[in-house]
A = this chain, B = another copy of it.
Amino acid sequence: MNASDASRRCVGILAGGGPLPGQVAAAAAAQGRDVFIVAFQDFAEPAVVAPWPHAYVRLAAAGSILSELRKHDCGDIVLIGPVRRPSFRDLRPDAEGARILARLGRALFAGDDGLLGALVRILGEEGFTVRGAHEFLSQSLGRTGALGRHEPDETARSDIERGVEVVRELGKLDIGQGCVVQNGVVLAVEAMEGTDAMLKRAGQCRQPGEGGVLIKLCKPGQERRADMPTIGPRTIEEASQARLVGVAFEAGATLLTDPKACIAAADNAGLFLFGV
């Protein structure tokens, strides 16, 4: 099959939570592509999924997932929206799911990168092409420099530098994607708890003085087709609650779930939104 055949085939969206699955669907449709959403039960939001052709499946029902994708002739696949790792007790895989769990093997116990990388590999072996959400949402990718009205000052720039160094080192260890730095002191480091929880904690362990920056970056080995750092209005709200002065993100490798709302929220709260 040549590229033009491939591009006429349906885009399959494996949808976790949040608004991004709907945005990918709209962007693909705007490119003239058909769209089918495989919505993960308990994670995908009904209001996001409802406008599009879709089916709900359990996360571990790999047989149903693959057959839905094949039935709707999906060639390209996008994995988008957060899901929690289920416990084995809740997993209840179907027959195909059990086979795929066996193929995942030790990757099930690896960090997120290992697990998601293995999933992308298996979907490739099954004949699908996994695309990054950012390939459809290029206008939602954070760009270099200040996105809103506010700019980092000298202190904030040096906190950003320190944060970048810290997150790069953490990334090499396959830990988290972010940290909070205030006047050179690392207040909090993100592991499995997620950015919002880290921001709450950073607010509670602020040090004397003003300042404080959230730094979020892609990990060096991060599977961007399955797991890209995202920033939403909620991130800005939590950063503001923690009395930070801004948010720094990796330009070209961070999705803003709602760029206009993020920038407006940052402008109102007096925070910078800065792509490095």
Interface residues of A (CB under 8 A from B): 85-89, 91, 108-111, 165-166, 169-170, 172-176, 179, 183-193, 197, 201, 204-205, 207-209
Q: A86-B208, A189-B190, A193-B204 are in contact. List 13 more A-B contacts (CB 8 A).
A: A88-B209, A89-B208, A108-B208, A109-B185, A110-B185, A111-B185, A169-B169, A173-B186, A176-B189, A186-B191, A187-B192, A188-B191, A192-B205
**Bound complex: CA A186 to CA B174 (Å):** 8
Are B197 and A192 interface neighbours, CB within 8 A? Answer: no
Q: How many copies make up the complex?
A: 2
What is the CB-to-nearest-CB distance from A216 to chain B, in angstroms, rounded to a whole number? 15
Are A191 and B184 interface neighbours, CB within 8 A? Answer: no
Instruction: Select A208's contact among B87, B183, B184, B209, beta carbons within 8 Å.
Output: B87
Instruction: Decide yes or no: A111 and B169 within 8 Å by CB, A193-B204, A204-B193, A209-B88 being known contacts.
Output: no
Q: Residue on B with the closest CB to A205? A: B192
Are A197 and B201 interface neighbours, CB within 8 A? Answer: yes
Are B186 and A85 interface neighbours, CB within 8 A? Answer: no
Q: Residue on B with the closest CB to A162? A: B173
Q: Which residues of B contact A189 (CB under 8 A)?
A: 170, 175-176, 189-191
